[in-house]
Amino acid sequence: MSRSRVQRWAILLLTVGLLAVVPIAASAQTQADVDRAERNREIAEARKSEAYRDYQRVTAQLDEAVEKYMQLWAEREEITYRIQLMEQAAARYQEEAAELNERARSIVIDAYISGQRNLVGSAFTASSIQELVTSQALIGRATERELESLDNLDAVSRQAERSSAELAVRRADVAANQEAAAVVVDEIEELRQEQGAILAKADDILHAAIDRYNKELNEKRVEDARIRRQQAEKSASRPGAAGGAPPEATPGFMCPVHGRTSFIDSWGFARSGGRRHKGVDMFAARNTPIVAVVDGRIKFSSNSLGGLSTHLYADNGTVYYYTHLEGHPTDITSGQTVTKGTIVGYVGNSGNARYTSPHVHFEIRPNGKAVNPYPTVRSAC
């Protein structure tokens, strides 16, 4: 066979081979597109299902319940703090009234010693020392300095009575608040269980639809938080704190709650003792695992305010604080270095949160100073 004929056969075989290969690749690509389109169609159909709508409804109700609970909590803390201040003021009024009462009694005794025994008779018939000291006879006996004391006695006594009455009202407000909060706690638990039941019955397609919904909802929450932070920064007492941590302070950050959780931006809400909230309260089922959000060294601790707590010290200086925990893991020890995702505690309500719905109070402290953790947490959870 001539050389030119061999070349023609080679070219023909190469062409046939190419024709055989190209359609296969095109067919494979087309099939992938078809599969993707079919899955998107199934997901779109799933988003029209009753189960999907139920999940949306329950999620919205859960968000509203958590928001309401946090508002009630802040209101209760504010009222409780005012009660503490009023109790201190009432104690001062009562102490001052007692001192003035004693001074008024000494005026009566001085009057008796000086021969004005008719004043002693008035003392026995008066319904109170306040009534006695306003009598013309005693006023006539008092010096100018003593008159001032007698006038103050009446004013202080009336203020003490008003304070006691207001304290009773405030304590009733706290009781009503606690009852309302207890109802919301039950509502949160019921909604969480209903949400879990929907997810347990969902197939892969519905799970994919719900995942998309959660992603879209989270993106909206992040944007809403960004707008609120801009507004908060204008009036923040510590610029930058309300705006959250810069990304470079939390590299590789992951969600601290390993499971379903609900939370709102509660930075600055009222807390006991006149404090302001310096974290985010993430509500979840009791004993839901809490994990290290980055690599770092952990420290376990306990105190009356936060209960069981965990500190996580990252290499870049940022400290993460988890508190109100139900317990610590038994397979690691305080002071140990852990990797991101390691369980470092469990959701609970220890410390001064013992009457609240189970949650973890979580803080981010770049350079040792707490900043609003909500933006970082919302983006990761």
| Residue 63 within any structural domain of the chain | no
Q: Are residues 259 and 169 in the same domain?
A: no
| Residue 320 within any structural domain of the chain | yes
| Residue 128 within any structural domain of the chain | yes
Question: What is the per-residue pLDDT for 269?
Answer: 83
Question: What is the per-residue pLDDT for 151?
Answer: 54
| Residue 335 within any structural domain of the chain | yes
Question: What is the per-residue pLDDT for 319?
Answer: 96
Question: What is the per-residue pLDDT for 363?
Answer: 96
Q: Which of 114, 141, 175 is the last residue of a domain?
A: 175
Q: Could you count the other beta carbons within 10 Å of the beta carbon of residue 247? A: 11
Q: Could you count the other beta carbons within 10 Å of the beta carbon of residue 137? A: 13
Residues of the chain with pLDDT > 70, as a percent, come to 68
Question: What is the per-residue pLDDT for 24?
Answer: 44
Per the structure, the count of domains in the chain is 2
| Residue 32 within any structural domain of the chain | no
Structure tokens at 92: 């001062």
Structure tokens at 263: 């939370």
CATH of the domain at 328: 2.70.70.10
Beta-bridged to residue 16, according to DSSP, are none
Q: What is the pLDDT of residues 254-288, one digit of tens each?
A: 999 999 899 988 888 877 677 788 899 999 999 99
Position with higher pLDDT, 236 vs 103: 103
Question: What is the per-residue pLDDT for 147?
Answer: 46
Q: Are residues 249 and 376 in the same domain?
A: yes
Residue 160, C-beta contacts closer than 8 angstroms, at least 6 positions apart:
90, 93, 94, 97
Q: Are strands 337-338 and 296-303 parallel, antiparallel or unpaired?
A: antiparallel
Q: What is the pLDDT of residues 302-360, one digit of tens each?
A: 988 889 999 999 999 999 999 999 999 999 999 999 999 999 999 999 988 887 889 99
- Among candidates 197, 199, 201, which has minimal Cα distance to 211? 199
Confidence of residue 154 (pLDDT cuts 50, 70, 90): low
Q: For residues 85 and 167, what is the distance between their CA atoms, to the nearest angstrom?
A: 10
| Residue 65 within any structural domain of the chain | no
Q: What is the DSSP string of 108-141?
A: HHHHHHTT-THHHHHHHH-SSHHHHHTSHHHHHH
Q: Which of 133, 156, 175 is the last residue of a domain?
A: 175
Question: What is the per-residue pLDDT for 96?
Answer: 64
pTM over 0.85: no
Q: Are residues 170 and 257 in the same domain?
A: no
Angle at the Cα of 349 from the Cα atoms of 345 and 353, rounded to 5 degrees:
135
| Residue 332 within any structural domain of the chain | yes
Residues 240-244: what's their mean pLDDT? Answer: 68
Q: Are residues 251 and 145 in the same domain?
A: no
Residues of the chain with pLDDT > 90, as a percent, come to 34
Confidence of residue 252 (pLDDT cuts 50, 70, 90): very high
Structure tokens at 260: 């379903």
Q: Which of 147, 175, 203 is the last residue of a domain?
A: 175
Question: What is the per-residue pLDDT for 10?
Answer: 46
- Show the domain range for 369: 245-380
| Residue 212 within any structural domain of the chain | no
Contact 191, 65 (CB under 8 A): yes
- Burial of residue 237 (CB within 10 Å: 0-12, 13-18, 19+) is exposed
Q: What is the pLDDT of residues 161-192, one digit of tens each?
A: 776 777 788 888 888 888 888 899 889 889 99
Q: What is the pLDDT of residues 77-96, one digit of tens each?
A: 888 877 777 777 667 766 76
Question: What is the per-residue pLDDT for 105?
Answer: 64
Contact 132, 104 (CB under 8 A): yes
Confidence of residue 236 (pLDDT cuts 50, 70, 90): low
Q: Are residues 277 and 153 in the same domain?
A: no
